Amino acid sequence: MSRSYRGIEKILLCIDDSQAILDYEKRILERSGYFVVTALSARRGLRLATSFSFDAVLLDYHMPEMNGHALACEIRRLRPETPVVMVSGSEIPEETRRLVDAVVSKDEAARELLPTVSRVCDRLSAS
């Protein structure tokens, strides 16, 4: 593991309706020093994202009750300083891509998740 991906003292929120995906993201990110909070629904994730301060929020695009675009809009409205990373197994509309800070394909997560989260969190630290 590269030291450039050390997420020491960074707190992330991962929101997905799949427990397996949440477990996978948590495992990858915690191995690199991030502290990870998970939410198994968009509504629960929104409550957490707006009640606590996170260094970044990772969310799925396709979820029941509220899709990733609507969730990202609410996070942007209530916590505009919080970076949002969309993680999806399908194509993301351009409107959603413009709304979030980064997009990671679930197919590429093993290779792209850590560098993307690191880049987004570093950008926040630099500002």
Q: What is the CATH number of the domain that holds 51?
A: 3.40.50.2300
Q: What pLDDT is stored for residue 2 in this prediction? A: 44
Q: What pLDDT is stored for residue 118 in this prediction? A: 92
Q: What pLDDT is stored for residue 37 in this prediction? A: 97
Q: What pLDDT is stored for residue 122 in this prediction? A: 84
User: How does pLDDT run across 63-77, given as a tens digit for each residue?
Assistant: 998 999 999 999 999
DSSP secondary structure code for residue 93 in this structure: P
Q: What pLDDT is stored for residue 3 in this prediction? A: 43
Number of domains in the chain: 1
Structural domain of residue 67, as residue ranges? Answer: 3-126
**What's the predicted TM-score (pTM) here?**
0.90
Q: What pLDDT is stored for residue 9 in this prediction? A: 80
27, 71 in Cβ contact below 8 A? Answer: no
In which residue ranges of the chain is pLDDT below 70? 1-8, 124-127
Q: What pLDDT is stored for residue 99 in this prediction? A: 95
Q: What pLDDT is stored for residue 1 in this prediction? A: 40
